[in-house]
Amino acid sequence: MPIYQNKALCRVRAVTLFLTLTKDKSQWLNALKQAKAEFDILVPAIQQQGYTVQSIRIVTNSFGEYLDLTSLATAKQDLAYLKELLLQLNDSGLRIRFAIGEAKTVEEIALLPELIADYGDLCNACVNVGLDQNGILNNDLILQSAQVVKRIADITPRGEGNFNFTVNFNCKPFIPYFPASYHSSQLPNSFVIGLETPDLLVAVLKALSPTHHNAFFQQCYEAMSQALQYHVDEVLSAVNSVQDSLHFYFAGMDSSAAPSKNCASMTEVYELMGVPYFGAAGTVEASSLLTRVFKSVQNVPLVGFSGLMLAVTEDLGLADGTQKQQFDIRALLTYSSVCGIGLDTVPVAGDVTAEQIAALMRDTGTMAFRLNKPLTVRLFPIPHKQAGELTEFDSVDLCNCRILAV
């Protein structure tokens, strides 16, 4: 068996359902049960195909369309009820993770810090920022979002609540990953599958022998594309085997590598492609080739990011790179010109101002719309710490790293 066909090298990071809820709370349990029934069909089918399923997730339409936002207290009461319903349904080996979708209004955005502080585990949320009639980013929305980032940092331990909040630019529905994911009630209830493939990419690249640069890069492209396509087709086969039993629409797959603390670092992929380290000269070229790999997938609609994802505090190699000062925020933005990074889980000093955060958001948003790609900003101001110091995260999802200068 070729190395790339080893299913232990590719995991299903997320089976994500997109579900519409209404103000009628009496219907919430039934809606969630319908989602659970889809999971109960999909997950075993994928597992029988030989894959580990890491998480199952539900993303709703904008929470303002179904939560009682009369006051902060009523909103929290509704989240408490949702938590209770989800606990009733969490009877299998996988806990259902939950996202409340996008905040659309000034009032909704203002509620997010306190909701995340109390219910961050199911209060994953985003703000979508667009352009005005003159093609200029909505700076009022950006500034309010930046103030939310600051507030979340102040009221959650070690500022970790910002793990649950992001600002999206040029992002469409059907992103399977939190907190950028959101659903539109104008769209059908649907599902998307996302993979975790850094181990696969590393294994495939290790089997290659470096040659002349152009020939080697073509080998890298063909080997990674072939490997990714094999696993996409295998997962598709699992979905197709139960398609007639499903009631949710299959919207497609997100082909992003989706790195985490528990798999190979994406920095190792760069090194195997001949880049001395992530951040060195050659990083832009390698990033562009990797993006081509993720976009090369056939036979399935590509949704979400379907590109290169580099989350600084979720990847041990990237976290190590901050300690060695191998890249900075400006570099991450540069790489975003050829791939879909944005600024994801980037730790910054606790005294960063809302205006400085807003300026970074405007730069990122400008690139997203100018280059027609989805980019996000998820910053972690770290209370009482300065650039150059180390974070002290407690979350099992986060790697400690050096705080980057704005």
Per-residue pLDDT of the chain (406 residues; tens, 9 = 90+): 899 999 999 999 999 999 999 999 999 999 999 999 999 999 999 999 999 999 999 999 999 999 999 999 999 999 999 999 999 998 777 899 999 999 999 999 999 999 999 998 899 999 999 999 999 999 999 999 999 999 999 999 999 999 999 999 999 999 999 999 999 999 999 999 999 999 999 999 999 988 899 999 999 999 999 999 999 999 999 999 999 999 999 999 999 998 888 899 999 999 999 999 999 999 999 999 999 999 999 999 999 999 888 889 999 999 999 999 999 999 999 998 887 778 999 999 999 999 999 999 999 999 999 999 999 999 999 999 999 999 999 888 889 999 999 9
Domain 12-169 coded CATH 3.30.70.2740: no
Give the model's pLDDT for residue 260. 85
Let me know: does 89 contact 36? Beta carbons within 8 Å. Answer: yes
Give the model's pLDDT for residue 259. 86
- List the one residue out of 7, 39, 69, 37 whose CA is nearest residue 239: 39
User: Which tokens is 199 given?
Assistant: 């181990």
Give the model's pLDDT for residue 127. 98
Q: CA 361, CA 375: separation in Å to the nearest integer? A: 10
The backbone torsions φ and ψ at residue 367, rounded to the nearest 5 degrees and listed phi first, read -65, -40
pTM confidence score: 0.95
Q: CA 401, CA 406: separation in Å to the nearest integer? A: 15
Enumerate the β-bridge partners of residue 17: 58, 191
Give the model's pLDDT for residue 340. 76
- Chain centroid to Cα 187, Å, comes to 21
Q: CA 154, CA 137: separation in Å to the nearest integer? A: 27
Q: CA 170, CA 165: separation in Å to the nearest integer? A: 16
Query: Cα dihedral sign for 236, 240, 242, 248?
Result: positive
User: Which tokens is 331 given?
Assistant: 């570099």
The backbone torsions φ and ψ at residue 2, rounded to the nearest 5 degrees and listed phi first, read -60, 145
- List the one residue out of 269, 156, 140 whose CA is nearest residue 217: 269
Give the model's pLDDT for residue 8. 96
Q: Delimit the domains of the chain by residue range.
A: 12-169, 196-382
- List the one residue out of 356, 348, 259 whose CA is nearest residue 310: 259
Which strands, in side-by-side order, build the sheet including 375-382? 249-254, 190-196, 11-19, 56-60, 96-102, 124-129, 165-169, 375-382, 343-349
Q: CA 355, CA 361: separation in Å to the nearest integer? A: 10
